[in-house]
Structure 1
Amino acid sequence: MDMPAFAIASTAALRDHFAQIVLPIWRGPGFNTAMHLPYEAVSADARHAPMPVERYRAMACARQLFIFSEAGDEVHANVLFEALLHFFLDKQRGGWFYSVDAVGAPLDTTKDLYTHAFVVFACAEYAVRFGNRDAFDVLHDTSALIEARFSAQDRLFNASLDGNFSTVTGTPVQNPLMHLTEAWLAARAATQDSTFDSRLRKLADAIECTFMHAPTGCIAELPLGADDNRLEPGHQFEWLWLAKQAGTLLDGSGLDAGLSRAFSFAQRHGVDPHTGGVYASLYETGKIKDTTQRIWAQSEYLRALAAMDDEATRCALYRQIEHFRLRFLHPQGWYECKTAAGNVLRADMPSTTPYHLATAYAALPADNSVRRDIAAA
């Protein structure tokens, strides 16, 4: 099916906005040139003033390393990689600090799986883009450390430990495990190391057994049976994309089969049919639990739609691109969080969000290939 002209224009507008508005923010006012670290957030007006500094997080630095590597900006990526190593690598005890304070001293020394996963993910992109051997070493060393230090029962991984890796401070939950899956898929692609195949298969089986809600196929946020559990539509869309990227690696697994049902469930119950807005969370019945609409969930819906190849879903993608552009982007940046009625809930713009925009836009059909397809039709 040919991509209609309005969808070509909308997709091009998303990418132009990212290149001309979003990236310059984080090279300029969103970047602390003295410390070589991205600020946590900036104002959404034309000044893009940094929000008051209380901390800098390793995860935010890693996400910025990813987006500038993906954009091909080697100079800025080099600076971010060196800052990641300088401020956040725990040279005495291993692993990565969660955060440093306003002057760069360790603040929260927790060893956080989410953070470690993003270090692997960012270094995979940086290493493969620019051939940096140190980044390949970080990727492998951090992956091995995750297996050795974060391991929990049932082939899962704990969410966090104290700075010495001696005490578990967070037991397994869905989100860090999803990003570890994402990180190991990126590492596998960057290194062609078959070690990541077995890691990913074991992790997928463990997630299916512990988190997959059988009636819907959805991946719950907490282990099944936990109090006040929830299903997040955005994470179902994100998981579907990851499963598509894994390809035959997940063949025969219940995770792969369940996520197709999860996509349908999340689309039916978790997306406003009028605005295209993706709600924050659902009960297991499909009833809306939290009506908040966060930009990351909207971007993951775009990726999931782009991963499907049937005509109905492709038509939904074309509509959703325009819904997203009109509802969540503006000339100074983006709206981080809105109510279902469209009111802005969070006015500032975090440094972590461009990662979601970059990954979503990369999944959309490329303008030049679409034009070739149309010309050949």
Structure 2
Amino acid sequence: MGPDLNQLRAELRQEHKDILAYWQRYAPDPEHGGFYGRVNYQNQPDPKADKGIVLNARILWTFSAALRHTHHEEYQPVADKAFQYIQQHFVDPQYGGVYWSVDATGQPKYPLKHLYGQAFALYGLSEYANATHSAPALALAKEQFGHMVKYAYDRDGDPAKQGGFVEALARDWSPATDYIISKYDNQESKTMNTHLHILEAFTCLYRVWPDKSVADQIRGMLRMFQEHIIDPTTYRMNLFMDNDWNIRRTAISYGHDIEASWLLPEAADVLAAKNPGDKALQKTVRALGVKMARAAVDGFDPTDGGMNYELEPNGHLNRERSWWVLAEAMVGFMNAYQLTHEQAFLDKSVSSWEFIKKYLLDLKKGEWFSGVTADHKVLGNEKISMWKCPYHNSRSCLEMLERLEHLR
């Protein structure tokens, strides 16, 4: 007997409401505006914590997406608040783009133009423009896209190897030596993680602004993944590369692999919906996504339904079960099931949700724990932080609900 999909729908719909309710209650900063940069497991804010663009842009995306999908007007004030705060405090009025972080009062703290942060700003702005039809938001999204392509797209060097985006630039878009995700001293100037979220942002922008320049960038990004980021024999992603895509450092990141297994086909689907000439690309990328999901199965632990975090280069298996990895596993395996109709993929998707319910939901104080150990002991002490945001878990609920509707 298969899983009860009606019950699954009901649980995910309620969980989505619960996640949003938590952020509506505990995230807003009534003293300095915007949202707290840190809230602990006891739901106590740190009023002095810095505020990051990743957190704020993900809040913007989360409530904009909730508004667009549910049409519940209660979500718009939070989306509006996030948009206004980014406009007023993160957008660089002199050079364009967004700062990586501001202090608790909203003053620039770390003005590095990290492309990971630029991507999430574009992602949030695009979704907000889609949900609210805000002309200023769309204009800012177009401007953001323009800056990213103008200053960070790699047009130098060997034409056969160029392409993709450099990892970080200084405030004025000049070369930077300060990287956050990768290591400058090891020449890790292009990373899988940043490129994955740039692709995600461009796809979101294309939904609301289907301009040829955006379509060309999406095609180029998909080519970069196929030619340089995804290993053609293992279907796992290389994590850190230099300017010419030579591998500098890598590991097996199960969470990113299963996340990319559905984000890449999504990008190809969005392209093909507006461009019949991209149907062949869509078919190719869908097949690639299934192969990536099959490879990611190695990280799935059938004993508890959890997903291991990472296989490190030295062979050590990091068995931490992270909140975001389980959220992405739920969607990635469901996407693979939709493409193959293989029951094993559906079972793994449902098992991921069962694991989340059993070990990651904080049933007493709300939201999700950041992770648990292999023997299910709670890790961390942050419900809200620079990286602990409402985007992975709320998005997984929305994605699952939409996909489950297609299974009716």
What TM-score comes out, normalization by structure 2 length? Answer: 0.83
Equivalent in the alignment of 2:35: 38
Equivalent in the alignment of 2:356: 324
Would you say how many aligned residue pairs link Structure 1 and Structure 2? 365
- The answer as to whether partners of 2:239 and 2:249 remain within 8 angstroms in 1 is no
Q: Map Cα deviations across residues 335-375 of structure 1 (whole Å, 9 max, x no partner).
A: 112111111121221254310012111111459948x94xx
- What letter matches 1:15 in structure 2? R
Equivalent in the alignment of 1:231: 252
Question: CA separation in 2, counterparts of 1:238 and 1:126?
Answer: 22
| Higher deviation after alignment, 326-335 or 80-89 | 326-335
Question: CA separation in 1, counterparts of 2:86 and 2:174?
Answer: 24
- What letter matches 1:58 in structure 2? I
Structure 1 residues 50 and 251: alpha-carbon distance in aligned structure 2, compared to 1, 3 A threshold: farther
1:349 and 2:383 are equivalent in the alignment: yes
- SS of aligned partner of 1:116: helix
Equivalent in the alignment of 1:205: 223
Percent identity, please: 21
Structure 1 residues 25 and 53: alpha-carbon distance in aligned structure 2, compared to 1, 3 A threshold: farther
Report the alpha carbon displacement of residue 252 of structure 1 after superposing the two structures with TM.
4.2
Structure 1 residues 111 and 366: alpha-carbon distance in aligned structure 2, compared to 1, 3 A threshold: closer
Equivalent in the alignment of 1:264: 294
- The answer as to whether partners of 1:14 and 1:325 remain within 8 angstroms in 2 is no
- The answer as to whether partners of 1:234 and 1:297 remain within 8 angstroms in 2 is yes
Question: CA separation in 2, counterparts of 1:365 and 1:81?
Answer: 26
1:165 to 157, 173, 178: 173
What TM-score comes out, normalization by structure 1 length? Answer: 0.89
Structure 1 residues 204 and 140: alpha-carbon distance in aligned structure 2, compared to 1, 3 A threshold: same
Question: CA separation in 2, counterparts of 1:222 and 1:26?
Answer: 33
- The answer as to whether partners of 1:305 and 1:317 remain within 8 angstroms in 2 is yes
Structure 1 residues 144 and 227: alpha-carbon distance in aligned structure 2, compared to 1, 3 A threshold: closer
1:84 to 86, 92, 95: 86
1:221 and 2:239 are equivalent in the alignment: yes
User: What is the root-mean-square deviation in Å for CA atoms of aligned residues?
Assistant: 2.5
Structure 1 residues 319 and 256: alpha-carbon distance in aligned structure 2, compared to 1, 3 A threshold: closer
List gaps (5 residues or longer) in structure 2: 68-74, 157-161, 180-188, 273-277
Question: CA separation in 1, counterparts of 2:14 and 2:78?
Answer: 20
- The answer as to whether partners of 2:59 and 2:389 remain within 8 angstroms in 1 is no
Report the alpha carbon displacement of residue 180 of structure 1 after superposing the two structures with TM.
0.5
Equivalent in the alignment of 2:193: 175
2:265 to 230, 238, 244: 244
Report the alpha carbon displacement of residue 74 of structure 1 after superposing the two structures with TM.
1.5
- The answer as to whether partners of 2:265 and 2:285 remain within 8 angstroms in 1 is no
Equivalent in the alignment of 1:142: 144
Report the alpha carbon displacement of residue 232 of structure 1 after superposing the two structures with TM.
0.7
Question: CA separation in 1, counterparts of 2:163 and 2:357?
Answer: 40
- SS of aligned partner of 1:31: coil
- The answer as to whether partners of 1:174 and 1:220 remain within 8 angstroms in 2 is yes
Structure 1 residues 238 and 135: alpha-carbon distance in aligned structure 2, compared to 1, 3 A threshold: same
- SS of aligned partner of 1:107: strand
Structure 1 residues 207 and 284: alpha-carbon distance in aligned structure 2, compared to 1, 3 A threshold: farther
